[in-house]
Amino acid sequence: MRADGRFTSSRSPQWYNNPAMTSAQEILFGHDSTPGIVAVEIIGSGARLYRRVDGALTTEEYEFKPWILTTQKLDLPEATWTELTGDDYAYLAEFPTRKAYEDARFVVRDSHAAHISPASLVRQYLTISGQTLFKDMAFEDVVRLQLDIETSSLRPDHPDASVMMVALSDNTGFEAIIDGDEREILRKLVTVIRERDPDVIEGHNIHDFDMHYLGTRAKALETKPAFGRDGSEMTFAPRQNCAIGYYSRPFTPACIHGRHVIDTLLAVQRFDVAKASLSSYSLKAVARAFGFAEAERDIIPHDQIANVWKTDPERVKNYALQDVRETRKLAELVCPPEFYLTQMLPDTYGHAATSGTGEKINSIFVRHYLHKGHAIPEPKPPAPLPGGYTEVRTTGVIQRIVKCDVESLYPSIMLGEKIKPESDTLGAFPPALEELTGRRFEAKRLARETQASERDYWDGMQNAFKIVINSFYGYLAGPFNFNDYQAAARVTTTGQALVKKIVEELERTGSRVVEIDTDGVYFQPPDFVRDESREIEYIEKIGSVLPEGIKLAHDGRFKAMISLKMKNYVLAGYDGRMVFKGSSLRSRADEPFGIEFISKAADLLVSGRGNEVRALYDETAGRINSGQMGVQEFARRERITEKTFTSASRKRLAQAAKDARVGDYVQVYQRADGSMGLAADYQNDEDREYLLDKLHKFAGRLSEAFADDFDAMFPRPSSSRRNEAAGQRTLGLFD
């Protein structure tokens, strides 16, 4: 049904009756090529599509029947059953109304019957229809609005809580500040959002702070956060987890009809998971790290914003506008891969930006198999797997480091060896992987050859393809419908053999191998390889011994490397930039003085001045002993979670942060009596013995760089010496 109330040609109930094998493009991007869909919402018994056609927003509506896929026919009222070809999930039940579908879900759950049915009806519609969002659109083609609020309290339920102002911007150049009476602020915000009509609303920690705060304050003031395209109010989904590498972060999604809410705090963590180059994910820190912070960037601590607002509101307004500008620039950097992935997936942008890659691949194959009228296999039970080849051959400080790696090692093996899941009877796996690989190489080429927005488009595309390509192996070894642990084992054992061959050839030709990690090798090249062009030529010769289709590439060159233990090292670039890798080397929970000590020590080591690290150690210890270290140097940042107040191991933190709420961040330190205190309440009562011990542990993280000299250079501090005279800051402090 279009905006004029008439139905378009409805989806045929026989959508799956197409036995002919289709192209890899159809597998990856769906069998419906409708362009410009920016959102899908389920209304009544239909699906409403919001589309941008030549820049203008239009709406279309289609009939839609919710569905459940089961392994056997069940007694489900009002269900229309279709038996699919194949075994396992071979029975498709479709329902005429949402109520009939929801009633059936209760029956299925109560009977503990195995079933497949995406919880989101929008994902169900996209799976059945073969449509995807954003087809034929570039990232800059969608209207993206950035939002930041400034409040009188971090807690919206605090007696003095209020929204003092809202800063807005969008990717068309629009900027605005909304201030005044709080109830009027909320009403004006609704008006501006409806007028600007964004497809996407972005913010840094927007789910768990900005939207939660706005929703809570709107309820308290009996006004409606009617941000939806249909005039509906913002709602909140149940708490979910955002997949970030091998761990996840909980958040409560804000839901707005016809719009996507994207949290750049979550997005930058996903973006950084492979690089691990950021020490903080705060907006200001990220803007500085990526180089787009404004030269005159104003900084106002959160606990001072309300006071500054009273005396200098223009300063706060400028501060908030800088926030939304940085949010826009951050989104332009970290969000395109997820945006372009959404063009492939039967999913919303918001969910694609937080779900795992295995889930994404699974949804693509489920869509294709259903389109072909074929049953979905049940996942195979877990089985042990050999891992990748990892080894540290050399520790210490090594000069002139080069890294080579096999481009897409596991996907290349899967293509070269024609490895696919046994249950992929339609043979969709290999052509999809091959198509993705070819498209990525082409997108990389176009990113190199084009300029400005076109370059950004192709770079976003190649990163999106890379994410999916590199997840095909993990999919084989995961809890997904088309998994295959035996096939995954073939991939890893083949990969081990190839990397060992690379290492053997490097050592045969005079290189000193430092670390091997699955698909990459850090090494010191022979003396005759002294510049980048010769390094590239040398790696090409090493790679010539590999099978066809396996490409060894130059992946970086460094002035020096501090090799410590597996996946824990420091790289010093020729440009002076230092890269710290490994959680045992640096953690976001570390005290700032320890991070600074390790950074300075690493700089001395790679500069050939390792003998000066002892003086740095003694100087730092002297500052601790004499009380010259400020609380901001030894207080650490802690996030308050539900476990803070329930776990026995976190009693001290719970006591110190008793007035904080779940989701808040606090700065805490250890007092001399062993308790924890807030940095804001510091009274020159830090536990100096604890800090001296922490300093020794920080030095210990670099112990491999000093070999057998570590214990002599960095004696463990003893409690009997902690009261030695302040000012002993050089050699002999602990002798």
pLDDT tens digit sequence for 292-341:
998 888 888 877 888 899 999 999 999 999 999 999 999 999 999 899 99
283-290 helix and 313-334 helix, angle to the nearest 10 degrees: 60
- In Å, how far from its chain's centre is CA 160? 35
Contact by Cβ (8 Å): 581, 571:
yes
- For 400: left if phi > 0, alpha if psi spans -120 to 50, otherwise beta; the answer is left
Distance CA 359, CA 342 (A): 13
Fold of 584-721: Topoisomerase I; Chain A, domain 4 (1.10.132)
pLDDT, residue 663, reads 66
Model pTM greater than 0.85? no
Distance CA 635, CA 624 (A): 13
- For 512: left if phi > 0, alpha if psi spans -120 to 50, otherwise beta; the answer is beta
Q: Which two tokens stand for residue 536?
A: 């590239």
The number of CA neighbours under 13 Å toward the Cβ of 456 is 15
Domain 379-420+484-583, CATH among 3.40.50.2300, 3.30.70.20, 3.90.1600.10, 3.90.1300.10: 3.90.1600.10
Closest CA to 374 of 410, 301, 423, 442: 423
Closest CA to 438 of 460, 456, 417, 461: 461
Domains 139-335 and 584-721 alike in fold: no
Residue count of the chain: 735
Distance CA 701, CA 276 (A): 18
pLDDT, residue 276, reads 67
In the chain, what are the domain boundaries? Answer: 139-335, 379-420+484-583, 584-721
Average pLDDT of adjacent 10-residue blocks, the chain of 735 residues: 30 32 82 96 94 93 96 95 97 96 94 94 98 95 97 89 96 96 97 98 96 96 97 96 88 97 95 76 90 88 85 94 96 92 96 94 96 97 92 96 94 93 95 89 87 78 84 93 96 96 97 96 96 97 94 95 95 92 81 95 95 95 94 90 85 88 82 94 95 96 92 75 40 34
Contact by Cβ (8 Å): 622, 728:
yes
Pseudo-torsion of CA 160, 163, 164, 165, nearest 10°?
A: 170
Distance CA 337, CA 139 (A): 9
What is the rounded end-to-end Cα distance, in angstroms, of the chain?
84
Closest CA to 179 of 280, 76, 309, 64: 309
Fold of 139-335: Nucleotidyltransferase; domain 5 (3.30.420)
pLDDT, residue 463, reads 80
